[in-house]
Amino acid sequence: MDDGLVLNLALDEPTSAGRQASRAKKGGRWTERAAAKRVAKRKAGPEASATQTDRETTERPAKRPRTSAQEKDSRAPPSAKRSRDVELAEDEDEGRATVRVPRIQNQIISSLFTSNPKVGPLETQGRTRPLGRPSNAPLADSSTFSGLGLDPLIIAHLSSKMNILKPTSIQRAALPALLDTDDGPPRDVFIQSQTGSGKTLSFLLPIIQDLLPLSSLSYIDRSVGTLAIIIAPTRELAKQISDVLEALLNLRLRPSDELPDDTDSAPRLTRWLVSGLLTGGSTRTHEKARLRKGVPILVSTPGRLLDHLQNTSSFNVGKCRWLVLDEADRLMELGFEESIQGILRGLDGRRKLALQAVQEGKSSEVGGWDWERQRRTILCSATIREDVQKLAGTTLKDPIIIKATEADTDLLSPSDTTRGGDSLATAGRTQQFTPPSQLSQKYVVVPLKLRLVTLVALLRSLLSSRSKRGMKVIVFLSCTDSVDFHWHLLGGTSMDAGADAAADASSPSGAEDSEGDIDSDASTAHRPHQIQTKSSAGNFGARSPLLPDTSIFRLHGSLPLQTRLASLRGFSSVPSSKQPKANSPTSSVLLCTSVASRGLDLPLVRAVIQYDLPTEGGATEYVHRVGRTARVGKGGEAWSIIEPSEVEWVKWVEGKMRGDEGTATERKDAEERSPVQLQAVAVETVLRNGFGGKGSEYEERATDVQLSFERWVLKDKRNADFARKAFRSHMRAYATHPSNEKHIFHIRHLHLGHLAKAFALREAPTAATAGPKAPGKRKLSKQKSGASVTQKKKAFGGDEDTDVAVAERRMEKAVRDQGRLTKKGGKMVSSGVAEFQVAGGYDLERLAQGMRT
């Protein structure tokens, strides 16, 4: 029955592409599925791909150029941005609301002044503490070197050649005890003094005065051997002590008013006192030649001195009268305790051998030497910690304790040796290790993203003072990689945006944000890393357009010895004020690790910046670092850059310097005795002083500087490696804070993305704590192992079918090897005879008996 309903069903024939897609491989590895899709696409022909391209083109609307309104909306919150995209899509598509997802850039430049943790008002912000009277300056009273018993020749040399007229407090306390020997045999001395108080002259002057009368003896010359040894923990400190010693040894040997033919004058003195320096990194052959000639006063590091004591037979130390251990706390920190014990044993052994040779008449030296006099040991330390007390107990005998704040000395009973140890322990419990009172101590709480630009702004503000020529600033960093990175960064950065436009192609707004210079000095400065040609700086001083008229040096323990000495020489050099050359730097900046925190007396250091707080030593290391300035009564500034999570460190270090470990009453008394306080400075103030401008203009200038740093990192792969390596090393150094400081310094408190900004990185490096082995090396090692197996198979002359033959050959070789081994002393050793090489009947009988058992 026909009801008039007609069904017209049309079935489209599937295309070849559709049939191929329907037969697409399911399951398996993704690489196999991707390969199958590529094969299907090729078989479908160009028509299908063209059709697909046309479809995508028609579906996706054309991208409109960015307008100024959209640029204003770029700083809007995410919800406003999404609504704005919806409105634009409705306008374009005439009512059809389609949310267009913006393209995600590979690298995003985040703003320096957004998403930073809020820093509230600090307690000491805006309050200034009046500086006290200089605590390490030469004394203003009637104390003189002549009243302390110093030789007139030495006094005249100090006043005329070295411009030293009066002693400091530690010199007034130490010189009488070291020069006066009328009360009995000389006793060992323990000197504790503030940093920068003239401790070096406290032991050099008594040594020279003790050896100077020997110059009147006819048989005395430099071949007498080494009479005084001074041990320093670092090469830089040893070189500095050697320079001061050489300046002292240039003194006149006769009064200036004495006539040459005057027979009633003092005894004629000969110039035989020669100083020497032994440090690691020098040529050992040249040092042996100098020791063979004779070095009466020797300055050395512990390792090299012990090496020559053990291996140099011509090293004559049998008559040694003085042994000085300078910076004993640093010697213990660097692990030189065993070396010092070996040096003491070596000196005692050489003395016994020399005395025995004299008694037996086998010595070739002229007689008359006072062998009854014992060696005198001086130990200098700024702190009296437990390890220093241990070192003093093993090196000092019947010691005298001298403190810089006390004119009198604590003399102990000669027969009571334990009482000296008790006094050292008592002094260690009651000590207050504080920086000089005239030092201005400040700190800045800086978010992680602003650390780098804040450092530049602080350096610019400190170096902008034109009151003095040759101004110097020291910046302490946590690790050697960070020192190298910042040295290359400051020396290689240019504020010219056009020069680095290609490197900033990945940043859409990089060229727009970096058109302006910081100031007129930066625009006229020469290209980065413009190295000085002056011999004082050599090729070790970099120049930066951000720091005009300034040389930048670096110093850390991984540099060669000559580089370290040249950097110190260039940093310490004072420019001539008579005829200054054009384009010659007048200021210097030293980027260094804690290797420069002990003992170095660098002239004209106006400020010390602790960009990274010390990871070892705590408050003691802090005081040593800031002690590089405000030396010998001069003023100075100490700046500490801390993070918002480290604000508690300020109160912690103030309490440590006051020594307020006890009850509340004791802490209050300690605060009244020693009002140590760090003054807070806002980061906005530092940026405004460094970059200038009106209102918030300093933010734009700081952003320009940050972008120039990031362009430098992107410009070269080597620069990026410097930044990543410094980032990882800083993370490792930050994790080494001791357990009692973990509540302040913990790696979990760090925002890695913000910290990456401080190293001019636009994103944190992946696997920040990973070792040098990359993830892809495991796969590469597997490929190599597979290739080695294939090569072994080919070496046997076969492939997979010959595996059985290869196994048989290996088994045969193993059986033959076992036949050549016998068990002796619990080990399998070669017998030299195999089971197929029986020499005679006796060997055959032994072999048969062995098989039966």
Q: What is the pLDDT of residues 275-331, one digit of tens each?
A: 999 998 778 899 999 999 999 999 999 999 999 999 999 999 999 999 999 999 889
Kind and range of the H or E element at 792?
Answer: helix 776-795
Give the length of the chain: 853
Domains annotated for the chain, with CATH where assigned, are 152-255+269-429 (3.40.50.300), 439-575+584-757 (3.40.50.300)
Looking at every residue in the chain, the average pLDDT score rounds to 75
pLDDT of residue 302: 95
DSSP string, 567-636: HHHHHHPPPPSSSPPTT---EEEEEE-GGGSSS---TTEEEEEESS--SSSTHHHHHHHHTTSS-TT--E
Q: What are phi and psi of 636, to 5 degrees?
A: 180, 170
Instruction: List per-block mean pLDDT (blocks of 10 residues) for the chain, which spans 853 residues.
Output: 56 50 62 85 63 48 49 48 43 42 51 84 62 67 81 92 89 88 78 83 94 85 92 92 93 73 63 91 89 95 95 93 93 91 95 90 76 92 86 90 58 37 55 77 94 96 73 94 96 71 41 38 39 46 90 93 89 68 80 88 88 90 88 86 94 82 56 72 94 89 94 94 95 93 92 93 72 47 49 44 60 63 55 48 60 55
pLDDT of residue 681: 93
Report the C-alpha gap between 325 and 580 in whole angstroms. Answer: 41
Q: Which residue bears the tokens 């209102």?
A: 695
Q: Cα Rg for the chain, rounded, in angstroms?
A: 38
The separation between CA 352 and the C-alpha centre of its own chain, rounded to angstroms, equals 42
pLDDT of residue 40: 84
Q: What is the pLDDT of residues 652-672, one digit of tens each?
A: 998 888 776 555 555 555 555
pLDDT of residue 532: 39
pLDDT of residue 125: 61
pLDDT of residue 586: 83
Question: What's the Cα-to-Cα distance from 258 to each of 24, 208, 271, 302, 468, rounded to whole Å?
Answer: 111, 22, 17, 43, 41
pLDDT of residue 382: 82
Question: Is 31 in a helix, a strand, or coil?
Answer: helix
Tokens for 128, please give them. Answer: 């200034």
Tokens for 420, please give them. Answer: 């000296």
Tokens for 161, please give them. Answer: 């050649």
Residues 6+ positions from 419 with CB-CB distance below 8 Å: 412, 413
pLDDT of residue 101: 41
pTM across the whole model: 0.68
pLDDT of residue 65: 52
pLDDT of residue 95: 43
